[in-house]
């Protein structure tokens, strides 16, 4: 006897509703409905000194009608900062900045940091230089905030694409406000008030000679930041945990701490929280280092990829 094949009359999603589900095996699927309000809010924004094209659901916009090589007025800088607050990361095309112009633009938003572990552009110490070749491969392909091992990590960073491969080398950004909002209520209650220990050694320890490690540790001691921080300009709650720099959650047993770090870090990998930027020569990405994590796709080897970054010193997260 031949079995009769079931012919469904409805899409299999029709009975699930507009609610994210955890399917068998713990697989989360379904609509990220909590993004809708922020997506529509961003879509309604208007700007005086430039145009902005929204790219991601809750983050990312391409800014046009502005020339970053010129001496911009305070009003324009203030409006760009408001755009950064709202979109979390903003992008520019065809901006052939010299190193001096790059630094001058970044300084309009605050004092710049000098990175102790990554080489700078010769003669311009405020610019970190990422020069990747067949001999020097890209190792920035993990989700992270920059320099959270500092007592006062970066407010933001401005990255200039100097030489980019014809294909590959995109940078991805993930909204840590959306990541926090998407957590179950019981997880939010669990992490409220928790603190994480951040450490430069996890990523940069291998570059420091043994006889300099004690000295370097004194210069950059272990620091603690809240697992959930509040953005000082927007008031938005943000996840502030990444695998690159977090050793442990203070006060939790080792296994529980490791499991929680992994769970919270995994939220950045949710595609619905992301925007992806495809580089061209003289493109610029300016991101809020508190509001987003980023990931540099390492899919272009052995092609060259040369970028320079200026980072703006921020305040201590709270």
Lowest mean pLDDT among 17-26, 133-142, 265-274, 308-317: 17-26
What is the model's pTM?
A: 0.93
- In the annotation, is 309 catalytic? yes
Residue 27 confidence (pLDDT) above 90: no
Q: Catalytic pick from 115, 145, 146, 198? A: 146
Residues 290-299 have pLDDT tens digits of 999 999 999 9
In degrees rounded to 5, what are phi and psi of residue 31?
-70, 140
Separation in Å, CA 148 to CA 37, 156, 225, 263: 29, 12, 8, 18
Select which of 81, 144, 231, 248 is catalytic. Answer: 144
Query: Around Cβ 92, how many Cβ atoms within 10 Å?
Result: 21
Query: Is a pLDDT exceeding 90 seen at residue 34?
Result: yes
Residue 294 known to be catalytic: yes
User: In the structure encoding, which two tokens stand for residue 56, read together?
Assistant: 């991601």
The distance from CA 125 to its chain's CA centroid, rounded to whole angstroms, is: 23
Place 15 in a pLDDT band, splitting at 50, 70 and 90. Answer: low
Active-site annotation holder among 102, 225, 294, 305: 294
42-313: CATH number: 3.60.130.10
Is residue 293 reached through a cis peptide bond, with omega within 30 degrees of 0 on the bond before it?
no
Is 144 part of the annotated catalytic residue set?
yes
Q: Once rounded to an integer, what is the mean pLDDT over residues 68-79?
A: 98
Question: Is 254 part of the annotated catalytic residue set?
Answer: no
| 283 exposure class (CB count in 10 Å sphere: 0-12, 13-18, 19+) | buried
**Would you list the domain boundaries of the chain?**
42-313
Q: pLDDT for 135-187, tens place per residue?
A: 988 889 999 999 999 999 999 999 999 999 999 999 999 999 999 999 999 99
């Amino acid at each position: 006897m031949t079995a009769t094949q079931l012919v469904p009359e409805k899409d299999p999603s029709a009975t699930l509703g507009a609610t994210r589900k955890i399917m068998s095996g713990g697989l989360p699927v379904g609509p990220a409905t909590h993004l809708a309000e922020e997506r529509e809010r961003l879509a309604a924004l208007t700007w005086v000194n430039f145009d902005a094209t929204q790219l991601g659901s809750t983050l990312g916009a391409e800014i046009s009608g502005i020339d970053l090589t010129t001496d911009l007025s305070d009003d324009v800088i203030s409006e760009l900062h408001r755009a950064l607050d709202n979109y979390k990361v903003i992008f520019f095309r065809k901006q052939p900045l010299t190193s001096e112009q790059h630094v001058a633009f970044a300084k309009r938003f605050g004092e710049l940091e000098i990175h102790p572990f990554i080489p700078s552009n010769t003669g311009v110490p405020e610019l970190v230089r990422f020069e990747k070749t067949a001999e020097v491969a890209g190792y920035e392909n993990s989700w992270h905030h920059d320099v959270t091992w500092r007592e006062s990590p970066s407010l933001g960073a401005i990255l200039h694409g100097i030489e980019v491969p014809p294909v590959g080398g995109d940078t991805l950004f993930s909204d840590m406000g959306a990541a926090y909002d998407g957590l179950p209520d019981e997880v939010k209650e669990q992490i409220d008030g928790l603190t994480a220990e951040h450490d430069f050694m996890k990523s940069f320890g291998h570059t420091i000679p043994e006889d300099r490690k004690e000295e370097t540790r004194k210069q950059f001691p272990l620091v603690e930041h809240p697992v959930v921080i509040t953005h000082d300009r927007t008031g938005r709650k943000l996840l502030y945990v990444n695998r690159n720099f977090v050793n442990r959650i203070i006060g939790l047993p080792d296994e529980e701490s490791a499991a929680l770090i992994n769970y919270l870090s995994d939220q950045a990998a949710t595609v619905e929280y992301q925007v992806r930027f495809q580089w061209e020569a003289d493109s610029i990405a300016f991101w809020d280092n508190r509001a987003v994590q980023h990931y540099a796709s390492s899919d272009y080897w052995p092609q060259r990829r040369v970028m320079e970054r200026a980072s703006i010193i921020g305040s201590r997260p709270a």
